Amino acid sequence: MIPTSDDGKRAYDLDRAYVFHSWSAQAALDPMVIAGGSGTLVWDHDGNEFLDFSSQLVNVNIGHQHPAVRDAIKAQADVLTTVAPAHANLARGEAARRILDRAGSGFGKVFFTNGGADANENAIRMARLYTGRDKVLSTYRSYHGNTGAAVVATGDWRRVPNEYARGHVHFFGPFSYRSEFWSDSVAQEGERALHHLRRVIQSEGASSIAAILIETIPGTAGVLVPPPGYLAGVRALADEFGIVLIFDEVMAGFGRTGDWFAFQSLADENGDIVVPDLITFAKGVNSGYVPVGGVVISPSIAAAFDDSVFPGGLTYSGHPLAMASIVGALDAMESEGIVANAKRVGADVIGPGLRALQAKHPSIIGEVRGLGVFWALDLVADPETREPVAPAVIAALKKSLLSLGLLPFFADNRLHVVPPCVVTDDEVAKALDIYDRAFSSL
């Protein structure tokens, strides 16, 4: 809907006249104009408020306009606004130390990038150089970014028009609700998915494979929490065949799952976690306030470049304003218990609330899955066949949610429930009521 206020109309008109949008047929666009935000709320120039249960692109983990992050950026701007990556800078060192403190003892260095896609590009490059091999294995249900290798590592439809990078092979990861393996239990799904991966490795030639790149919890593909034991099985296969294991935590990291990293949320019954060789991150590390990403590197891979040049770099790697925003965000998330809030609200409020919503609307909500503030509803036309709902149903649901004051996140037939980590119980209750009313309107 075109805004009526002067500023809103001007923003809309300028956008339609001059801005070229991603993943879109340009003539059909009707963008929503956002004027401001605070916490879990955004609003337009006409004064209409919306609960942001999209976190924009599932990245505003600390919420909109958090004062600690804004102040950190402002303070850094007064000292040094930019610096070449070859120089040392206090903000960069402090940001790297904080990230490594939260990643744990299995890591030694951080390489900073401008976002998640180039984080995956550089992780792939490190794995290839470290192993002397070429192929990269990734799942069909995945999204890794829109750059040369990252988009080809991606499994969804966006890969197909962009397949220019070499050496990429795809496999199916576990997804019990829509199993590719005819599994009849979560445990069996994990076992069969691991057998499938082993056969892909063997068939491709293990000695040709540099890396297995997987989202710890695939996000855009549907918040696919892996079965117990699956990540441990992938780690074992990587070790057996000398393959670098990369966890893409661009969407799932920094509080989204209720821990600093998603792999920490997936500890087994003994509390043991599966540690990858490389972690890619972006989005939640500073809630997207300034573009940034990076690769968290194990000591062995970092050491491989002690005397060999790493042939990669970015003009804005470790940009001071981005580094300051990381320091401000991570310190505030720690001191204010924001990650703990995400864990609690997911377990106590969002999860139970979404399951109650499913019980009330069983003909359209096929499955509820997730943890922390990272959830998805799999929407179906038939709960028996699990046939996905038609795009027209998604369009009607989106229109209804917006009219009721909630900004949603949809991907294919799924409604993703992904508020900022600072979301309150009352805000979740309000959102659940809006979801209920929207589903009832269908």
What tokens appear for 219 in the block? 């996000």
Strands 135-139 and 209-215: parallel
Q: Which of 240, 181, 247, 180 is nearest to 212 (CA)?
A: 247
Give the pLDDT confidence score for residue 14 in this predicted structure.
97
Share of the chain above pLDDT 90, in %: 98
What tokens appear for 341 in the block? 């809030």
For residue 16, tell me if it sits in a domain: no
For residue 209, tell me if it sits in a domain: yes
Give the pLDDT confidence score for residue 223 in this predicted structure.
98
- Say if residue 386 is in the same domain as residue 258: no
- Say if residue 312 is in the same domain as residue 342: no
Provide the 3-class DSSP secondary structure of residue 435: helix
For residue 371, tell me if it sits in a domain: yes
- Say if residue 298 is in the same domain as residue 398: no
Out of 271, 306, 335, a domain closes at: 335
What tokens appear for 172 in the block? 């199916």
Run of H or E including 122? helix 116-131
Please name the residues in contact with 66: beta carbons below 8 A apart, sequence gap of 6 or more: 287, 328, 329, 332, 422
- Say if residue 143 is in the same domain as residue 180: yes
Burial (CB count <10 Å: 0-12, 13-18, 19+), residue 216: buried
For residue 244, tell me if it sits in a domain: yes
- Say if residue 84 is in the same domain as residue 54: no
- Say if residue 376 is in the same domain as residue 434: yes
For residue 10, tell me if it sits in a domain: no
Q: pLDDT at residue 1 above 70? A: no
For residue 377, tell me if it sits in a domain: yes
Please report, for residues 1, 88, 108, 178, the alpha-carbon distance to residue 97 in angstroms, rounded to integers and kept in the order given: 45, 14, 9, 40
Give CA angle at 305 (300, 310), nearest 5°: 130
pLDDT (mean) for 37-41: 98
Torsions phi, psi for 162 (to 5 deg): -125, 25
Residue 127 CB neighbours (<10 A) = 24
Out of 302, 335, 368, a domain closes at: 335
Strands 414-417 and 374-382: antiparallel
- Say if residue 222 is in the same domain as residue 342: no
- Say if residue 330 is in the same domain as residue 402: no
Q: Report residue 110 CA to chain centroid gap.
A: 19
User: What range does the domain containing 375 cover?
Assistant: 34-65+337-441
- Say if residue 282 is in the same domain as residue 315: yes
Does residue 244 contact residue 130 with C-beta atoms inside 8 Å?
yes
Query: What's the CA gap between 282 and 13, in Å, rounded?
Result: 31
Tell me: the pLDDT tens digits for 209-247?
999 999 999 999 999 999 999 999 999 999 999 999 999
Beta bridge partners, 245, equal 212
Out of 301, 335, 369, a domain closes at: 335
Tell me the CATH number at 408: 3.90.1150.10
Does residue 366 contact residue 379 with C-beta atoms inside 8 Å?
yes
Tell me the CATH number at 123: 3.40.640.10
Q: pLDDT at residue 269 above 90? A: no
Does residue 321 contact residue 327 with C-beta atoms inside 8 Å?
no
Please report, for residues 106, 107, 341, the alpha-carbon distance to residue 279 in angstroms, rounded to integers and kept in the order given: 11, 9, 24
For residue 193, tell me if it sits in a domain: yes
Query: What's the CA gap between 397 and 130, in Å, rounded?
Result: 48
Provide the 3-class DSSP secondary structure of residue 415: strand
Tell me: the pLDDT tens digits for 129-186?
999 999 999 999 999 999 999 999 999 999 999 999 999 999 999 999 999 999 999 9
- Say if residue 331 is in the same domain as residue 343: no
Give CA angle at 286 (303, 99), nearest 5°: 30
Give the confidence band of 3 by pLDDT, cuts at 50, 70, 90.
confident
What tokens appear for 220 in the block? 């855009």
- Say if residue 239 is in the same domain as residue 307: yes
Looking up tokens 């491989």 gives 304
For residue 203, tell me if it sits in a domain: yes
- Within 338-382, residue ranges assigned H as helices are 338-345, 351-360
Give the pLDDT confidence score for residue 4 in this predicted structure.
83
Give the confidence band of 49 by pLDDT, cuts at 50, 70, 90.
very high
Q: pLDDT at residue 27 above 70? A: yes
- Strand-by-strand arrangement of the 209-215 sheet: 109-113, 293-297, 278-281, 244-248, 209-215, 135-139, 168-171
Residue 322 CB neighbours (<10 A) = 26
- Name the domain count of the chain: 2
- Say if residue 317 is in the same domain as residue 345: no
Beta bridge partners, 278, equal 246, 297
